[in-house]
Every structure is written in C-alpha cells, then in structure tokens.
Structure 1
Amino acid sequence: MTGSAQRPLLFLDVDGPLIPFGAAPDRYPIFATGAHAPGDDANPLLSRIDPAHGPRLLALPCDVVWATTWEEEANECIAPRIGLPRLAVVIWPEPSDTDEQDERYGLHWKTRALVDLAAGRPFAWVDDEVTDTDRVWVAAHHPGPALLHRVDPRVGLTDSDYAALDSWFRRQVGIPGR
C-alpha cells in the first residue's frame, strides 16, 4: 500500500495513554518542554506527558487521529508539547438512546463512532477503557482489521505498547518487522 489515504488509522486517547493517572502523584515524573506550553496553567497534569511520545507516534506507519474528549484542545495543548503536527480530531456525536443501551451492555461510548469513522480502513484504538465487549463488537461490525489496545492508565504508553502497535501496523502495510 502507498499513500496516506490507505494507511491504517491510530485512534489515540489522551487521558491514560499519554497522561498517566491513578497512582500516587509522586510516582509520576515531570517533563519540561523547554518553553511554556499552552494549557500548562490550566492543567498541571500536562507535565506528566513524556515528550518522547511525539517521535514514537510519528514513527508508526499510520495516520494518528485524536480520539479523546480533549478534541481540538489536543492539537492546541498536547501536540506542540510532544512535537506532533496538527492531527485529525474525532468530533464525537451527541449521545443517543443507542449509546445508553450500548453502555448498559458494556460497549464503550466511543466504539460505534470509531468504527464509523474508520469506514473499513484498518485501525488501532489506544485507550485505557477498551474492553472485551468492544473487541467483540468491532470484530462483528468492522470489515477491516482492527486492534483495540488497552493501556494501563497508571503508567500510560510503554515500550511494549509501542512494540505491539508497531508490529501490528507493519503487518497491515506489508512492512517487515524491525
């Protein structure tokens, strides 16, 4: 496959994968960006974001899309902090009766929207709230390959997460592993 239109998608959540939370506050390193980054005053948790995430995400053979309630704020506050360009952003639909029913059965409120947005393209979804219910639903409703990758929110994205993502994306685009 060639061309960005055919590359797989990486739907990326922020809270959990990039901003770890849930452990003792003194457990998290503080990362400086060298310059005052947008949003620093409003959200001190931004200092938990490791700037190494940017180059690692850009090295993956995929198109990264913000799939977070941060929406466009991810481009304003997070992308510059870690050296990412402006990325596409999922604009979440308004909640519906279907969403409420899905949640009663354990389906995450993001799942349907991400499958719709992928429109058959291979995609990985990185989030700290992915469950087996989401995996089963995606397998039944998405015609292309999909990887629903759960990240431990207490530690965020790790070397092993990046290795798993890189390997999966490389298989999708026919690039031999490293």
Structure 2
Amino acid sequence: MTDSFLYTSPLDPQAQPLIQALTQEYETRYGDYWGAGDGIKEMNRYPAELFAPPDGNFLLLLRDGVAIAGGAFKRYDDTTAEMKRVWTHVDLRRQGLARRVLQELEAQAARQGYTQLYLTTGFRQPEAAGLYLRSGYTALFDTAVDPEIHGTLPFRKALGVPAPAVRRTA
C-alpha cells in the first residue's frame, strides 16, 4: 500500500469520484436545510481555475494510484489562503488522512507565500470542526452555542515563516 500526494485540478478524472461523493455527502447532510440540489450548487460555486497556481492549489491523496482524500485552497486576500473541500473517502475515515491532506495544503500555501489560512465548514460537519480545532485553527464563532445558530463555522490559522514566496498577481 503506497500513499502519495498529487497536485492537480478539480477537473482531473482521478478527482471525480471524490468530488461526486462529496457532493452526495453535502446533499445527505444539508439537503433538508439547503434544499434539494443545493449540494451540487455548492460544489459548482467556484471555478476550477481558482484552485490553480499561483493563487491556489488542488491536492489528491492517492493510495496505489486511487484518490482516497483531497482538498484545495484558493486566494482569500493578499496574505490569506482559503481552504476548501478537505475530504476523505467515507470508507477510510478515522485514519488521519484528512489531517495529512490539511498539513500538506498548509505547507503548500506557505510555499506559495501565504501567511495565514481561513476556512469555513458547515454546522453539520462536527468531524471537520474537530479536525480544525485539533490542528491549531482558531474558531471565529462561539463554540459554546449550538453550531446550527451560526450555519457556517469560520476558522483562522497563522502559518509559520513562509518559504520564499511565489509572486501572485491580482
């Protein structure tokens, strides 16, 4: 069993099974809240180009050549990358795969010159919220109240000293 990272695009055929499964998960978790079909709208909200260098990146974690987890980031502002779609295949959860993806994306964001990260997760994704809190992210919401009150749960994290920056243009 060999795991490896692949920087690619959301349009890569290897990414499609994970993207389809994540879309279905959004529909399952939020369908009665957002409305039918809104998981598809959410997944199509951002064009693939936003997740391409120099401002973003899209990552797959492959196991023996098959995508088992992934995630991405895009530009939020001049110094901040926004993490998106960190996800693990449903049959492979609780193995630390999302943490590995998150750590790799954090390192890549720093290599691309970002000094902080921002992300949001939904109130029906307690596993994700727990991952971000355990990974050093600061909750930008009141964690003592029912998360549904907030709807979207934002987090922020400062990165260490970045590697030499790749020059980004607006």
**TM-score bracket, shorter-length normalisation:** 0.3 to 0.5
Structure with larger RCO (C-alpha < 8 A, sep 6+): 1
TM-score (norm 2): 0.33
Structure with greater proportional helix content: 1
Structure with greater proportional strand content: 2
